[in-house]
Amino acid sequence: MHYFDYRRGKLYAEGVSIERIAREVGTPVFIYSAKTTRRHYRAFDGAFRGAKHLVCYSVKANSNIAILRLLSKEGSGFDIVSGGELFRVLKAGGDVRKVVFSGVGKRDDEIEYAIKKNILMFNVESPQELRRIHSIARRLRKKTPIAIRVNPDIDPKTHPYISTGLKKNKFGIETELAIKEYIHAKQNLPWLEPIGVDCHIGSQITELSPFVEALKRVVKLVNFLQSEGLNIGYLNMGGGLGITYRDEAPPHPSSYGEAVIRETGGLGLTLIFEPGRVIMGNSGILATKVLYTKEGSLKNFVIVDAAMNDLPRPSLYDAYHEVRPVVDKKRGELTADIVGPICESGDFLARDRTIKEVEPGELLAFMSAGAYCFSMSSNYNSRPRSAEVLVTGRTYHVIRKREGLKDLIRGEIIPEGLE
Ligand SMILES: *Cc1c(COP(=O)(O)O)cnc(C)c1O
């Protein structure tokens, strides 16, 4: 469900036309709907009413501080994967007591930053990291809460790049070893406080069964650890609930909620979730302008002013984003590759796509572009990154200015002697 709809043949975000934003802010431009974001957050959070729980929005999905502020005001905590994301949460006024820190490669400075700011807990991903956090906690003389991210060896049946809970993936610690590490922490690492068990099996998961399988394994582990005298109060199921890009039919958060509560009811645990895509994916679109059309003998091309640096998912995961005309009028159809200006054949936003015929100067909207799009964007080909806009009702706010040419070379230095 989202609030991007046609009114009299023109595409709107809530009460603002996309044409108007494109005219006033330029293209390419990411446009987010505040009402959609809130709706998704509330649907997710509401699914766990009746269970003690904390939603920690996954910052990497869309890390604009205006989005973080909006979610923080809804009561959300945050799942971070870097010191940079912690900085963003703090700048957005997020509650640091609701922050969990995941990731396989936390640096010393990032660990120290997070300990000093008193985050809720670290999700520890290796035995070496456990010892590293302990030694930093000891030096700072701060007792530090942790969960171990276990790798439950579950196939989430999603794209291999976003499967994270299989033994061959780099994430988490296998269950048998995790048990040893929990006991080692309890006995020998006094500056750590093991308070949770964590797992995250992947992203864009469109069935319930992998979640339920993982949950059963993790609940067993929690029971065992409790019987060993560990004081485990939190169970973190990570993120991963999928969305509809094309014709996927992922479970509604409420079915996910029912399944989770069925498996964990009565254990007295506080549940943590780290949703990203399901909150932001369908809360945003990318509006882009057609620059040229070109007919080849094998293929037609529609060349637009957005490229793989703006919308990396098609070239990275062969992902599908629905394409809609911003002004919908009667016309013929055309099958084409929709491509950007970047000098790579991998620079496509849609391939062999049948759309309504378009002419240079017209606008197209790439739907479902609220998660893992701007946050993955880059300056490749020295393309300034696009603007981001947040629509609230009948007004809109620029929440990130379009980059200019000076932004492209910020921090670059020509050394003496090359002058
Ligand atoms: C990316 C990530 C998430 C969010 O995943 P979504 O599929 O966007 O919900 C949650 N937890 C961890 C540890 C992650 O790496």
Let me know whether 201 and 174 are in one domain. Answer: yes
Angle at 371 between CA 110 and CA 100, to 5 degrees: 30
Let me know whether 213 and 309 are in one domain. Answer: no
| Other residues' Cβ atoms within 10 Å of the Cβ of residue 294 | 12
Q: Are 306 and 350 in contact (CB under 8 A)?
A: no
Using one digit for the tens of pLDDT, what is the confidence trace for 75-133?
A: 999 999 999 999 999 999 999 999 999 999 999 999 999 999 999 999 999 999 999 99
Q: Determine the Cα–Cα distance for residues 162 and 282; give it in Å rounded to an integer.
A: 18
pLDDT at 282: 98
Of ligand 1's listed atoms, the one at least distance from the Cα of 102 is 13
The residue range of the domain holding 16 is 4-32+281-408
Annotated active-site residue 56? The verdict is no
pLDDT at 81: 98
pLDDT at 157: 82
Residue of the CA atom closest to atom 3 of ligand 1: 239
Let me know whether 254 and 328 are in one domain. Answer: no
Let me know whether 371 and 401 are in one domain. Answer: yes
Let me know whether 146 and 249 are in one domain. Answer: yes
* Pocket test residue of 71, 79, 163, 278 for ligand 1, highest count of atoms within 8 A of CB: 79
Q: Report the number of distinct structural domains present in the chain.
A: 2
Let me know whether 369 and 385 are in one domain. Answer: yes
Q: Determine the Cα–Cα distance for residues 195 and 232; give it in Å rounded to an integer.
A: 4
Of ligand 1's listed atoms, the one at least distance from the Cα of 280 is 8
Let me know whether 286 and 403 are in one domain. Answer: yes
- Phi-psi group of 372: left, alpha or beta (phi > 0 → left; psi -120 to 50 → alpha; rest → beta): left
Let me know whether 287 and 370 are in one domain. Answer: yes
The CATH number that applies at residue 356 is 2.40.37.10
CA distances from 172 to 103, 128, 131 (A): 9, 12, 15
| Residue 68, in any domain of the structure | no
E strands, 218-322, are 234-236, 270-273, 284-295, 300-304
| Residue 47, in any domain of the structure | no
Name residues whose C-beta falls within 8 Å of residue 296's C-beta, 6 or more positions apart in sequence: none
Q: Are 71 and 37 in contact (CB under 8 A)?
A: yes
| Residue 89, in any domain of the structure | no
Let me know whether 21 and 127 are in one domain. Answer: no
Reference 281, options 89, 62, 121; nearest CA is 62
Give the DSSP H or E segment for 12: strand 10-13
Let me know whether 377 and 400 are in one domain. Answer: yes
Q: Are 218 and 235 in contact (CB under 8 A)?
A: yes
Using one digit for the tens of pLDDT, what is the confidence trace for 227-239?
A: 999 999 999 999 9
From the candidates 56, 199, 343, 373, give the one annotated as an active-site residue. Answer: 343
Name residues contacting ligand 1 (CB within 6 A): 58, 60-61, 79, 81, 102, 200, 203, 238-240, 274-278
Task: Say how many residues make up the chain.
Answer: 419
Let me know whether 264 and 319 are in one domain. Answer: no
| Residue 11, in any domain of the structure | yes
| Residue 207, in any domain of the structure | yes
Let me know whether 26 and 152 are in one domain. Answer: no
Which of these three, 241, 273, 305, is where a domain ends? 273
- Residue 180 backbone phi and psi in degrees, to 5: -60, -40
Using one digit for the tens of pLDDT, what is the confidence trace for 251-281?
A: 999 999 999 999 998 899 999 999 999 999 9
Dihedral sign for Cα 143, 145, 148, 149, please.
Answer: negative
- Percentages (nearest 5) of helix, strand, coil residues in the chain: 30, 25, 40
| Residue 53, in any domain of the structure | no
Q: If you average pLDDT over every residue of the chain, what do you get?
A: 96
| Residue 51, in any domain of the structure | no
DSSP designation for 344: S
Residue of the CA atom closest to atom 10 of ligand 1: 239
Which of these three, 273, 301, 332, is where a domain ends? 273
| Residue 38, in any domain of the structure | no
Q: Are 334 and 354 in contact (CB under 8 A)?
A: yes
Structure-token match 């990154």, residue found: 385
Which of these three, 224, 240, 273, is where a domain ends? 273
The CATH number that applies at residue 111 is 3.20.20.10
* Pocket test residue of 45, 57, 58 for ligand 1, highest count of atoms within 8 A of CB: 58
Name residues whose C-beta falls within 8 Å of residue 266's C-beta, 6 or more positions apart in sequence: none
Of ligand 1's listed atoms, the one at least distance from the Cα of 164 is 15
Q: Is the pLDDT of residue 155 over 90?
A: no
